[in-house]
């Protein structure tokens, strides 16, 4: 398809391992570094589009940066070579027909294609997706120091320096009752200053969650993010029906079809939108449209991206009107370093949407070289 159109001439991937500022406790593991797959799509005119793939861990949905790299190198690259980035939708449909699932890998590819197309048209990605609803998005920080006192002091510090005004906690490491007690103590520890949402990553059961709902409500908890197993749609609907603390769908919401099911079953008050888990920015916007039609609020969820992936998330969610719960796009400040020359701006509790062509961030090749994972026996000089 080369004819007179600009076409894709080269595709490369690298794995990056970047340290984070402090250990982060998920429900299943504690991490001190974050890994990424960096994708570059080069066009015949020399333009290079960049995309970034990352995931909380292979425990989250079955993908890892290593699987993403393999899928892109072996299966996606042959589809991309010779194609024009002006036909993104057609390219994505071919990829979907030839490669099942793997939404994180597909989102990485879509990201790089839109970055290349934006640079080709000299337009920011949000203009290609339908324009902006807002030019900055509120950011909620995830408290995950591993201790109650640590989380309380961290929250107070961020409020004092006006970095973040709202928070959520990571849960699931402890038994559900102990987890519930811990979160109430954290909420009480910052009462009058701020409030929290709770994210158990699907580790609680129906009875425990229902038992604590009144106390969560009294403590001013903002939301419960995926308290139950993602497959327990009926249980989630029961929690919603209690009309206490709003229930947010995360792991149970990946596809457009998931969004329809959750809306039909009235099993969520809030949708956590994540570009990677939904296979790209366009799918994310479709899911937000279903939420809007069903009267469901939205939240900008994170896979803890650098400024590259966070920019893609911003371009998508800043275009929708029902982002009532803001976002958790703190990835660029969570990392000890960022592989771009100018990290995204987070100020006074808001992250600002980049307005340069493409994703609006420029890769720092020296940092890429510094954090690139060496192959066995390789020496980088």
Residue 24 has what pLDDT?
A: 66
Where does the pLDDT of residue 381 fall: very low under 50, low under 70, confident under 90, or very high at 90 and above?
very low
Q: State mean pLDDT over 229-258.
A: 98
User: Pick the catalytic residue: 34, 40, 170, 244?
Assistant: 170
What does pTM read for this prediction? 0.94
Q: Supply the pLDDT for residue 5.
A: 86
Q: Which residues lie below 8 Å from residue 192, measured CB to CB, with a gap of 6+? A: none
For residue range 6-55, list pLDDT tens digits in order. Answer: 999 999 999 999 999 877 666 666 678 999 999 999 999 999 999 999 99
Give the DSSP letter of residue 85.
Answer: G
- Dihedral sign from CA coordinates of 216, 219, 220, 225: negative
- On whether the CB atoms of residues 371 and 339 are closer than 8 A, the answer is yes
> Residue 57: its pLDDT value, please?
86
Please write the tens of the pLDDT for every residue from 130-165: 999 999 999 999 998 778 999 999 999 999 999 999
- What is the per-residue pLDDT across 150-209, written as a single tens digit (0 to 9) for each? 999 999 999 999 999 999 998 888 899 999 999 999 999 999 999 999 999 999 999 999
Residue 207: the pLDDT is: 95
Per the annotation, the verdict on 170 as an active-site residue is: yes
Give the 3-state secondary structure of residue 70. helix
pLDDT per position as a tens digit, 302-335: 999 999 999 999 999 999 999 999 999 999 999 9
**What are the pLDDT digits (tens) for 63-91?**
999 999 999 999 999 999 999 999 999 99
pLDDT greater than 70 at residue 336? yes
Burial letters for 349-364: b for 16+ Cβ neighbours within 10 Å, e otherwise?
Answer: bbbebbebbbbbbebb
- pLDDT-derived band at 379 (thresholds 50, 70, 90) equals very low
Give percent of the chain above pLDDT 70: 96
Separation of alpha carbons 288 and 139, rounded Å:
18
Domains of the chain with bracketed CATH: 8-123+364-371 (3.30.390.10), 128-352 (3.20.20.120)
What whole-number distance in Å separates Cα of residue 22 and Cα of residue 13?
27
Query: Is there a catalytic annotation at residue 328?
Result: yes
């Amino acid at each position: 398809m080369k004819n007179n159109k600009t076409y894709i001439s080269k595709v490369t991937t690298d794995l990056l391992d970047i340290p984070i500022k402090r250990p982060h406790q998920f429900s299943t593991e504690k991490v001190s570094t974050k890994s990424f797959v960096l994708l570059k799509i080069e066009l015949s005119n020399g333009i290079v589009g960049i995309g970034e793939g990352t995931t909380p861990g292979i425990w989250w949905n079955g993908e890892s940066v290593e699987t993403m790299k393999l899928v892109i190198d072996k299966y996606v690259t042959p589809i991309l070579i010779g194609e024009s980035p002006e036909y993104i939708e057609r390219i994505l449909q071919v990829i979907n027909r030839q490669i099942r699932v793997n939404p994180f890998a597909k989102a990485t590819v879509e990201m790089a294609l839109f970055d290349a197309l934006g640079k080709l048209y000299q337009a920011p990605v949000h203009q290609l997706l339908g324009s902006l609803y807002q030019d900055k998005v509120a950011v909620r920080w995830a408290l995950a120091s591993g201790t109650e006192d640590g989380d309380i002091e961290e929250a107070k510090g961020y409020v004092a320096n006006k970095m973040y005004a709202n928070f959520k906690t990571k849960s699931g490491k402890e038994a559900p009752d102990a987890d519930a007690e811990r979160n109430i103590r954290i909420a009480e520890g910052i009462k009058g200053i701020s409030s929290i949402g709770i994210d158990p990553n699907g580790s609680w059961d129906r009875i425990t969650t229902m038992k604590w709902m009144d106390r969560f409500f009294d403590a001013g908890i903002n939301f419960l993010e995926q308290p139950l197993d993602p497959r327990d749609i009926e249980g989630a609907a029961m929690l919603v029906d209690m009309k206490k603390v709003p229930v947010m769908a995360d792991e149970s919401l990946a596809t457009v079809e998931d969004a329809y099911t959750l809306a039909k079953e009235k099993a969520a008050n809030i949708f956590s939108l994540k570009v990677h888990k939904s296979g790209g920015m366009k799918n994310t916007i479709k899911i937000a449209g279903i939420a809007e039609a069903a009267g469901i609020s939205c939240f900008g969820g994170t896979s803890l991206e650098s400024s590259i992936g966070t920019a893609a998330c911003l371009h998508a969610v800043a275009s929708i009107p029902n982002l009532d719960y803001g976002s958790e796009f703190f990835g660029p400040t969570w990392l000890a370093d960022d592989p771009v020359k100018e990290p995204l701006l987070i100020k006074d509790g808001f992250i600002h949407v980049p307005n340069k062509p493409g994703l609006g961030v420029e890769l720092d090749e020296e940092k890429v070289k510094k954090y690139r994972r060496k192959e066995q026996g390789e020496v980088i000089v």
